[in-house]
Structure 1
């Protein structure tokens, strides 16, 4: 059957997915705000010692937000892949070729986003989306096996080299530090905030800083492989039609939430009971001669705990969404989630303006964690309001519309038709 060249307008959307995506982007902006969107503040005058509130906020975001919300966002990307492929399949369309073209367009969007701030993750999403197309024919059990191998850090084993993995306890006289995925997920800071133009900053982001980011995510940590695992998990959950039945399985959702919560607690407890990793050896893949097996075990447990903690947050949100009195408020996030691409990139543009050397970095770079946390909430709230008004008049967010039009090489309907 010939492929349609004009996509149908969105219909029969599962609104909890959009609301969950909007919820995920709340954590993304809050964490990026506290990380100054990757721009350094080391040499900014006027930076005061952190207050008690700054310390509390920093602890809260590191424990509850860092790495967790971007994991939900990544999971939902894999789910969206399944939804697009399934809907096309029902029309007798093989969407794989079109989806590959769609990922190329996302790659370009990601490059533009990276020119503002190198913490933009869409380039990696585009590459992993391409990988999903080739994994599409595999059975669920094979996909789950691949997920497990990625989460326990098998790629890192090959990077380190099996001959460099030590199976005995290493006693180091230096102060030992506990391995933490939260520490691993902190972005690499720019080396200076000296005055520069946007073009100079963009060049550095697209070259040096992107190389550092990729080295960190795929060599010095398991972060990049975790994202791919979450893509695949989202695809598997889509195949299992979890979200299509979510409204009729309220008790099962709560049990799933409790299971994720218990699993997270047990994994974190196991990490606490593990031997301390000597300082200077906890960075997987760093330039070093040998790595203790304990490091790799704690790395795997930390990665898995991030996924289970993300599952706790997601299933908790889903369970609350099934309560009618709460759903009416959570649905305020639905338009925000439907414009997820536009809002994500707008976050990055705003963040680069606030913290870059070519923007207002000398002003906002000196603010403490508490102030930046509140500012992040304000920006997010304004985006929620704007998204709600926008979706009353338009079928898609602006970037979603451009991406969709580019996907089908034909301008798509944009404005909603007035109802009479």
Structure 2
């Protein structure tokens, strides 16, 4: 294993991207790829014993809301690397990056037809906002990122809308809503075209509520974009072996924030009773405290990953995620197609029927399968299929796909 790669690829970044993708597929598979609220009692069969409860707790504490954040952080980092590489060559990459995002939007829209929880369309739209931030000073970047993480977007939305949804009727968000029941039934019993038709418009409106409403996922995503841009400026991952003290500081401060945010979450939500309604300021503060808890755990995972990557044995194991990360787009879309086939009615139809422990094991099996397949594929090809298509469309020319040699990197 090498700690840094030559030319444009940075092995630890690819490995971290692959590791992040592994966490994402575990969450999605255990959630049965629903990407929406589920009717009351619909998922009871997924929780039948202590093992299922442990899986639930593991995902809530360590995975949900954390690995998407790592993935978003790496998107911002990749944006900086592409812009910086072009700048070094005396080129302006802004127009090309915008076109690249338009292509990603198209890929994401097709992916969204299968899975309503698609993140590619979100990345494509939010990525446009990265372009004017590229030359912003570090002070402004950190200041805006901090305000986002402290819930500024949520508070503005809440002040403007109170408890009213901007995109869909409020009763559609309830597990007892007929619309929720109908969508679940479409996933469970419908044909592929039925799923596509439901996701094509209604799915985007529901996603916009989650992304731009008081739950603030889009604002947090953009905050991690900016953080990745900021870290990229300091060439941290190119020289991560030299930043031992910094990484340890990040780890300990994150642990402190994690403990503090748990206390904040418990204190704020305990005031709201068992039936929490997000129509008051304590609930908004509680959601921000929960965000801070997820952010803290994200930094803990990131710091531990870097620390372990420096160690010879652990680093060799973590480096196995690098091919997986180099094909992240292909692997992400492939996961969704396989996952929806397993659960939805157009496929095997196991929605709501498999215990959490079984879907967790399916996720582990899928990760290892894709790790092996990615390594094999990149032995013979320069890019994953979707990566090659994305790159070729970005530059409007066909790049070579097949390797002339089969030397592994």
CA, structure 1 residues 162+410, in 2 after alignment: closer, same or farther (shift >3 Å)?
Answer: closer
Residue 184 (structure 2) aligns with:
191
Normalised by the length of structure 1, the TM-score is: 0.85
Give 1:416 shift.
1.6
Supply the distance in 2 between the matched residues of 1:150 and 1:270 (Cα, whole angstroms). Answer: 18
Alignment of 1:209-224 (within 5 A): 209-224=203-218
Give 1:214 shift.
1.1
2:72 matched to 1:74?
yes
Supply the distance in 1 between the matched residues of 2:33 and 2:269 (Cα, whole angstroms). Answer: 33
| RMSD, aligned α-carbons | 2.4
Residue 365 (structure 2) aligns with:
378
Residue 206 (structure 1) aligns with:
200
- Assess if the C-alpha contact under 8 Å between 1:335 and 1:388 holds in 2: yes
- Assess if the C-alpha contact under 8 Å between 2:46 and 2:52 holds in 1: no
2:231 to 226, 232, 237: 237
Residue 147 (structure 1) aligns with:
145
Supply the distance in 2 between the matched residues of 1:74 and 1:45 (Cα, whole angstroms). Answer: 29
Supply the distance in 2 between the matched residues of 1:351 and 1:276 (Cα, whole angstroms). Answer: 36
Supply the distance in 2 between the matched residues of 1:20 and 1:403 (Cα, whole angstroms). Answer: 21
Residue 403 (structure 1) aligns with:
390
Residue 252 (structure 1) aligns with:
246
Residue 172 (structure 2) aligns with:
none
Supply the distance in 2 between the matched residues of 1:277 and 1:312 (Cα, whole angstroms). Answer: 29
Supply the distance in 1 between the matched residues of 2:384 and 2:21 (Cα, whole angstroms). Answer: 15
2:24 matched to 1:28?
yes
1:346 to 322, 334, 337: 334
Residue 314 (structure 1) aligns with:
302
Q: Structure 1, residues 8-49: CA drift from partner, whole Å, max 9, x if none?
A: xx9342101111111111110110011101175878799376
Aligned residue pairs total 382
CA, structure 1 residues 367+325, in 2 after alignment: closer, same or farther (shift >3 Å)?
Answer: same
Supply the distance in 2 between the matched residues of 1:238 and 1:26 (Cα, whole angstroms). Answer: 23
CA, structure 1 residues 272+194, in 2 after alignment: closer, same or farther (shift >3 Å)?
Answer: closer
- Assess if the C-alpha contact under 8 Å between 2:47 and 2:356 holds in 1: no
Structure 1 unaligned segments of length 5 or more: list them.
1-9, 166-187
Supply the distance in 2 between the matched residues of 1:297 and 1:45 (Cα, whole angstroms). Answer: 29
Supply the distance in 2 between the matched residues of 1:384 and 1:141 (Cα, whole angstroms). Answer: 39
Give 1:303 shift.
1.3
Structure 2 unaligned segments of length 5 or more: list them.
1-5, 164-179
Supply the distance in 2 between the matched residues of 1:326 and 1:270 (Cα, whole angstroms). Answer: 35
CA, structure 1 residues 358+161, in 2 after alignment: closer, same or farther (shift >3 Å)?
Answer: same
- Assess if the C-alpha contact under 8 Å between 1:222 and 1:303 holds in 2: no
Normalised by the length of structure 2, the TM-score is: 0.87
Q: Structure 1, residues 180-233: CA drift from partner, whole Å, max 9, x if none?
A: xxxxxxxx8833245222112111112112211211221141212111111111
- In terms of fraction of residues, the more helix-rich structure is 2
Supply the distance in 2 between the matched residues of 1:138 and 1:305 (Cα, whole angstroms). Answer: 28
CA, structure 1 residues 377+42, in 2 after alignment: closer, same or farther (shift >3 Å)?
Answer: farther
Residue 266 (structure 1) aligns with:
260
CA, structure 1 residues 85+52, in 2 after alignment: closer, same or farther (shift >3 Å)?
Answer: same
CA, structure 1 residues 346+340, in 2 after alignment: closer, same or farther (shift >3 Å)?
Answer: same
Residue 17 (structure 1) aligns with:
13
Supply the distance in 2 between the matched residues of 1:225 and 1:283 (Cα, whole angstroms). Answer: 21
Supply the distance in 1 between the matched residues of 2:160 and 2:189 (Cα, whole angstroms). Answer: 45
Supply the distance in 2 between the matched residues of 1:368 and 1:25 (Cα, whole angstroms). Answer: 22
